[in-house]
Structures are given as C-alpha cells and as structure tokens.
Amino acid sequence: MQTNLKKIKIVGIDVHIGSQISNLNAFRQTFEHLAKLIDELKNINIHLENIDIGGGLGIKYTDEDLEPDLHEYSALVKKILGHLNCRIIFEPGRYIVGNCGILVTKVLYKKTSQNKNFLITDAGMNDFSRTALYGATHKLIPLYKNKSGKTGIFDVVGPVCESTDTFLKNYLVEGAETGDFLAFLDVGAYGAVLSSEYNTRPLVPEIMVYNKRYELVRSRPTYEEIFDRETMPNWE
Ligand SMILES: Cc1ncc(COP(=O)(O)O)c(C=O)c1O
C-alpha cells in the first residue's frame, strides 16, 4: 500500500523557502529537512522521483547585498540530496534574469521643496513596482555625459500621484537635466511582469537586446487599444 489515497501517486516534493537569500545556512537546513522527510516517506513505501528545491538565490542589487557562492550551493545540494536517487529541479528566478534588464527613464523635471531636491522621472510605480511593493533599492545610473559637472542629492520619484511612487531617497545623481536619460539596473526579474496600467498609463515597451541586435518584444499599447478592451454592460 502506498497511502490510503488510492487514486493519487505521490511522485515528488516541492519547496520554496523565500527570495533574495544570501546565507546558505537556510538552504542547508531546508535540504536536511527534505532528506529526512524523503527517508521517512521511503519507510512507508513512498518513493519520490522528483525533488523541487525552488529558487531564492539572492543577487546583488546594491553594494551591501551579498550573493551566495553557486559552487558552494551546488556542493550543498549534491552532499545532502545527491544520494537520494531523485531528479532535482531548480527554480532560480532572479538569479537567472534579474541583472538582464534595465529600465530606461527620462527626467521630466527637477524641483526643490522643503529643502529637498526631487528628480521626477517618467517611469512610475506602475512601470516598476518593486520599490513600492517591497521597499527594494535599485541602482540608478546616468545615460548621458555630465555636461555641467554638477552632482546633487535627490529623492528620485515617479509622476504618479501616490506617496509610494518613490524609487530612491537621498541618492547621488550626476548633473541630470530635464530630458536626460537614466537607467534603473537589475530590473529583469519582477519588473515588467509586475507593471500595470494604473492611472491609464500605457505599459512600457520592452526591447530585447542581443549583442548589437535589438527588437521590440512588447509594444506600448495606444489609448485606443486600452479603452477597446473595456466594455460597459448593457443593463437597462
Ligand atoms: C515557487 C517559487 N519558485 C521560485 C521562485 C523564484 O524565486 P527567486 O526569483 O527569488 O529565485 C518563486 C518566487 O516567488 C516561487 O514562488
């Protein structure tokens, strides 16, 4: 007898302990729990074929972030799970695509209010919401030559009328002027996929770049396309 669930064949186990993890101890403990559980299951005649160990490997968004050593991670997987004779499945999300994307944005204007300098970008929290959702910090770099040689400390904010539409606080930006382009780095994971058309702001276009080739892979919808998706029920 496998279990008393006669119509169900248990073939695998799946775990995902969280995201942006740099300390391998958390993975070690999880793998040890898994190995113990898999042994216990064998004792009741449940023989798993697959172990899915999820994702969670952290990446360096800022200089303070630590990145786990992949060789140490794979050695850990091999040592604790390798002998169990199962197919091991990995789901690293941001570790694969996090640093593959940038968000290019234009300076709409600068203003000073209550002794604070604000730099307002045309990208808003609807275009990139990791900061509003999780308080995430993403580096911002200039895509222009600093003509004035000036630098300034800014709160970098979007144009959406929400207090969470803030990307960076007290951030050093080199001589940005209205119309200059900047890039938020490492937005390849949970970036465009989390964007929305809040405030009827059309989704930002996505451009795939490969060496010197580039291609539009998600176009910016027109207002007509956005409104065409909506209908009013005929409820008279
Ligand atoms: C089940 C599962 N697997 C993998 C991932 C990928 O996580 P990460 O991008 O942090 O590696 C997630 C993210 O939430 C998840 O929920």
Ligand 1 pocket, mutate which of 20, 89, 91 (most atoms under 8 A from CB): 91
Host H or E run for residue 71: helix 70-81
What is the domain-level CATH number for residue 210?
2.40.37.10
What is the domain-level CATH number for residue 19?
3.20.20.10
Residue nearest to atom 1 of ligand 1 (CA): 16
Ligand 1 atom with minimal separation from the 57 CA = 11
CA atoms in the 13 A half-sphere facing the CB of 64: 4
In this structure, the strands spanning 116-121 and 103-113 are: antiparallel
Instruction: Give me the residue label for tokens 């970036």.
Output: 191
- Domain assignment of residue 29, given as a range: 12-97
Verify that 132 and 180 share a domain, yes or no. yes
Ligand 1 atom with minimal separation from the 19 CA = 10
- Pick from 59, 80, 97: which residue ends a domain? 97
Ligand 1: which residues within 6 Å by Cβ? Answer: 16, 19, 54-57, 91-95, 189
- Which tens digits make up the pLDDT trace of 50-108? 999 999 999 999 999 999 999 999 999 999 999 999 999 999 999 999 999 999 999 99
Q: Please give the structure tokens belonging to residue 147.
A: 């003509």
Residue nearest to atom 3 of ligand 1 (CA): 54
pLDDT of residue 1: 41
DSSP letter assigned to residue 87: E
Read off the pLDDT of each residue in 2-6 and give the average, rounded to a whole number.
71
The one-letter amino acid at 196: S
Q: Please give the structure tokens belonging to residue 15.
A: 């775990």
Verify that 47 and 113 share a domain, yes or no. no
CA atoms in the 13 A half-sphere facing the CB of 147: 5
- Which tens digits make up the pLDDT trace of 147-165? 888 889 999 999 999 999 9
- Pick from 72, 97, 122: which residue ends a domain? 97
Beta-bridged to residue 181, according to DSSP, are: 106
The counts of H helices and E strands in the chain are 5, 11
Verify that 85 and 110 share a domain, yes or no. no
